[in-house]
Amino acid sequence: MRDMHYDQLPHSELIRLLTEYDRERIETGKDGIIMSYTGRTAPWQIIRQVQPKLTTIHDSLSIGEEIEQAQNIIMEGENLSAMVTLYKYRGQVDLILTDPPYNTGEDFRYNDKWDTDPNDPDLGDLVPKDDGSRHSKWLRFMTPRIWMMKDMLKPGGVIAICIDHRELFRLGMLMDEIFREENRIGIINWQKSYSPRSDNKGISTATEYVLIYARDVDKANTGLNERTEVMNSRYNSPDGDPDEWKSADASGPDDATHKKMVYGIQSPFTGSIYYPPKGRHWVNEKSTMKRWLETWGHEYEEKWIDDGNEFSDNGRNIRVKALVLKSTEFKSGKLISGHDAVQAAREVALRRLYEGKWPQLYFGMKGDTGPQLKRYLKDVKKGKVLMSYWADEDYETPLYIDSQSWDHEESGHSQAGLKELDAVVGRGHEFKTVKPLRLFKKIIQIWCRSDGIVLDPFAGSGTTGHAVLDLNEETKTSRRFILIEQGNTDKGDRYAKTLTADRVRRVINGEWATGQRDPQHGGFRFIELRKQQIDAKAVNALAREEMIDLLLTSYWDKAEKAKSYLRRFAAGEHHFLFGINPRNEGFFLIWDSPEEPSVLNREVFRSIVEEAKTNNLAARYHVYASSAPYTGHSIEFYKIPDKVLEHIGFNTRTDAYNVESTEAANV
């Protein structure tokens, strides 16, 4: 069979060969686990039936300058069709980070028509908890999508997929089958709530999971890039600590989402009360801060000090207590008694300061500043040791296993995710669970290079896009995102427009529901996936602006790969010129309507040259037209519809997305 030319075989014969190959894999067990469940169809057979769709770019829903819009995509539509339509990104994505429906009986929908026609755009009905086939339906839904996600990844790309205990084991087996067990990087067990809660069996459900797989683990890069000597030289040990460290901020951003972590801390040296800077909160948990403070030699307690540090939550007035030296009393935030305790604490803290090897929370070289943190070089260089722990975290030494656990200090928690969303778009969005930014930002930092592409096929409220923008701003990087969302609330609201895009747009322009924030650099194109499938007839029937939308969405250059994007010129600004690539080369469309001639001749080319000169473009001309009797060495001609179809994955000779017959499709 190695000598066969597979591209010359009819589709029915290819399907027969692939089906035999699948059967051989299952019978021999050559490729490890092969899952079997009711209604299973080989994922490649399902994907083969999914046809690319026409798209519409909505300028009113997009944001940013044209060059910024060209970098990122928010696409409204069914995610399997969307990934097939985004053909140019196949094999170009660095990280897929996604949070699919968990099959809880509240959030997972299934359309029975998908079993025979995966192109049906209807989301279907909610699958209730008492549906006896809910697990097989969930697997039939997820299998082709995960297969397609793998196709979207670079050879060294990584997928991070969130899940809870309900489908953890089935998803793990499915990931082992599609990605292979040896490409499993690990399982992150993250703490989704502050306090463990028990289900009706008395088992803690305070944690959820992120499964991490590489397309090829030998080519994947996990963790931080190699540090330079200049970076390491910033660390030293002025207190005689055997581990080198440097000073770090004890506070983090977004106080609005962490109101209980904004409180006063009394210095053991001066007795003064310190608060986080405006707009920020203490980055470590209160219990941890208290433990560090007491290492300076005096007991601390949580106490209301009448400093006005309170807020309202669902009608309840919550007073945020300060961490103060034991035996001290306050009024209006001022010390009124306990001066002896302050003096005693100062004496023992100064002795501790002179002894060296200070606690991780310290108050400057002389004890005369606000709280600061010691950040150790060993932690920055090596990252955290892989570990797991029980939910109550009572163990001083965690158990070491083949996965990594992050408590909510590192990953955030679900309630923080909801508050973050509320802060940006306001309440009333009807989302009950939202992944925290801190969790997604950490995953992106570890597994996506600084100028890479992050894809989220289940974008939900847009946390992935928000996380990418935040990281780009904080670390001066240029990661890009592709968010896909169809979502339907009970009211029939396809919230890609009303929530996903709205959140990301507010993050970019700074218009948060809680007040104006600093705008962030970035932008996106909002693209709607239409119901009409793409073929030669559909392409030839497009009006000019529809054709431009299709070209902007589908264009790619093999030499540029993922950096192949076109900046759009305003509609009507030029007769032929519609876009420009990163090399300052113009793209021209000879197409007024389906009824008008589309011919590149000498006269038209002269007009194209003039438009290029007017806009100071390079003397290389990319021209789309139906025919080209005039050609030249500086002209790159793209034939309509053949070249357009090729850019979206069609083999123009065999038309890979058209099934020859119903019989062939059902082999």
Domain membership flag for residue 211: no
Clarify whether residues 522 and 417 are in a common domain: yes
Residue 398: per-residue pLDDT: 28
Q: Which residues contact 386 (CB under 8 A, 6 or more apart)?
A: 186, 400, 401, 402, 403, 404
How far is the C-alpha of 326 from the C-alpha of 495, rounded, in Å?
51
Q: How far apart are CA 646 and CA 650, in angstroms?
A: 5
Residues 6 or more apart in contact with residue 21 via CB below 8 angstroms: none
- What is the Cα–Cα distance from 580 to 618, expressed in whole angstroms? 10
565 lies in the same domain as 514: no
What pLDDT is recorded for position 667? Answer: 32
User: Both 361 and 483 in a single domain?
Assistant: no
Q: Is residue 36 part of a domain?
A: no
pLDDT at residue number 32: 61
- Which of 475, 497, 530 finishes a domain? 530
Q: Which residue has the tokens 């809870």?
A: 164
Q: Give the integer Cα–Cα distance in Å for 524 and 517.
A: 19
Question: Within this chain, do residues 368 and 276 fall inside the same structural domain, yes or no?
Answer: yes
The answer on 334 and 244 residing in a single domain is yes
pLDDT of residue 133: 75
Half-sphere exposure of 272 (CA within 13 A, CB side): 10
497, 61 Cβ separation under 8 angstroms: yes
Closest of 497, 311, 480, 507 to residue 421, by C-alpha: 507
pLDDT mean by block of 10 residues, the chain; 667 residues: 50 58 52 68 78 92 93 93 91 94 71 75 73 80 92 95 86 92 86 54 65 91 57 84 92 84 96 94 92 96 95 89 96 95 96 94 95 86 37 27 42 66 83 83 89 94 95 91 80 78 95 91 94 89 94 81 78 92 94 94 96 95 96 93 86 47 34
**Residues 50, 18 within the same domain:** no
Q: What would the two tokens of residue 586 be?
A: 């113009």
The CA distance from 482 to 95, in Å, is 11
Indicate whether 488 and 543 sit together in one domain: no
Residue 98 lies in a domain: yes
Cα 574 to Cα 525, 587, 600: the distances in Å are: 21, 11, 16
The length of the chain in residues reads: 667
The reply to whether 439 and 518 lie within a common domain is yes
Do 526 and 591 reside in the same domain of the chain?
Answer: no
3-state secondary structure of 508: helix
**Nearest C-alpha neighbor of 46 from the set 89, 77, 84:** 84
Residues 25 and 66 in one domain: no
List Cβ neighbours of 533 (8 Å cut-off, separation of 6 or more): 51, 52, 53, 54, 119
Give how many domains the chain has, as a whole number.
4
Is residue 641 reached through a cis peptide bond, with omega within 30 degrees of 0 on the bond before it? yes
Q: Residue 441: in which H helix or E strand, if any?
A: helix 437-447
Q: What pTM was computed for the model?
A: 0.69
Distance separating alpha carbons of residues 371 and 361, to the nearest angstrom: 6
- 493: amino acid identity, one letter: D
**251 and 178 inside one domain:** no
* Residue 19: domain span: 1-31
CB under 8 Å, gap of 24 or more: what pairs does 625-628 form?
625/589, 625/590, 625/591, 625/598, 625/599, 625/600, 626/590, 626/597, 626/598, 626/599, 627/598, 627/599, 627/600, 628/599, 628/600
Q: How far apart are CA 51 and CA 321, in angstroms?
A: 59
Neighbour count for residue 87 (Cβ, 10 Å): 18
Please tell me whether residues 322 and 416 are part of one structural domain. Answer: no
